[in-house]
């Protein structure tokens, strides 16, 4: 995520991104209608899994691979990929959508997983959950060492039981990535295959 250059805010963005590698997804087990309690359970399980990887002491490549496995386990990737592709997704073929989904998954794991050292000893606690239209909004407070606490808000779909977005101090993660993917497409003059090839190497 490209956040403004304020002390600590870059780190906050990367912290949220690493959470997003594991989040954006489903409650453990099959997707199902979510309750407020299940939405909170999702966030709790997500943070537990991500923190376990961070604290494992594994090499950076091993951590990135594990973040991607978490992403696969929890992720509602077809929805996420469709959102970040934006209007360009309507002209993509089925094979291109599948390839983009896989490429974006790896890109996210690499992009945010490389920042893992910043998050050792981090904490995130659930502050409350409320119903918002057809979703649950789970408010949390994140604490990184040497930084003031900040808010991270997760959104879990009521019908799907899947995590589909998060905000960091009001910054929409999916919208940020959608802008970045759009810029990559612009650089390739709208060539989806070329953008996917770039995405496989990015991060």
pLDDT, tens digit, 9 for 90 and up, residues 90-101: 999 999 999 999
Q: In whole angstroms, what is the distance from residue 97 CA to residue 101 CA?
A: 6
pLDDT digit string, tens, across residues 130-171: 999 988 999 988 888 788 898 889 888 887 777 888 888 888
What does CATH list as the number for 9-201?
3.10.450.710
Q: Based on DSSP, count helices (H) and strands (E) in the chain, helices before strands.
A: 7, 5
Which is more confident, 154 or 182? 182
* Cβ atoms 50, 21 nearer than 8 A: yes
Q: Is the pLDDT of residue 6 over 70?
A: no
Q: How many whole angstroms separate alpha carbon 175 and alpha carbon 83?
A: 8
pLDDT of residue 97: 95
């Amino acid at each position: 995520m490209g956040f403004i250059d304020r002390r600590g805010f870059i780190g906050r963005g990367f912290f949220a991104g690493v959470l997003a590698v594991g989040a954006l997804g489903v409650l453990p087990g099959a997707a199902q209608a979510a309750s407020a309690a299940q939405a909170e359970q999702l966030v709790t399980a997500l943070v537990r899994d991500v923190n376990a990887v961070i604290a494992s002491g594994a090499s950076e490549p091993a951590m990135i691979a594990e973040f991607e496995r978490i992403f696969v386990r929890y992720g509602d990737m077809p929805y996420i990929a469709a959102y970040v592709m934006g209007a360009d997704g309507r002209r993509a073929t089925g094979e291109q959508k599948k390839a983009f989904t896989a490429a974006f998954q790896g890109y996210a794991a690499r992009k945010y997983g490389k920042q893992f050292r910043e998050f050792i000893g981090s904490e995130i606690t659930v502050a409350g959950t409320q119903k918002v239209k057809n979703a649950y909004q789970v408010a949390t407070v994140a604490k990184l060492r040497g930084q003031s606490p900040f808010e991270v808000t997760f959104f879990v779909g009521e019908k799907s039981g899947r995590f589909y977005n998060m905000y960091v101090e009001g910054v929409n993660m999916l919208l940020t990535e959608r802008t970045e993917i759009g810029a990559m497409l612009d650089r390739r003059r709208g060539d989806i295959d070329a953008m996917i090839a770039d995405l496989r190497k990015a991060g």
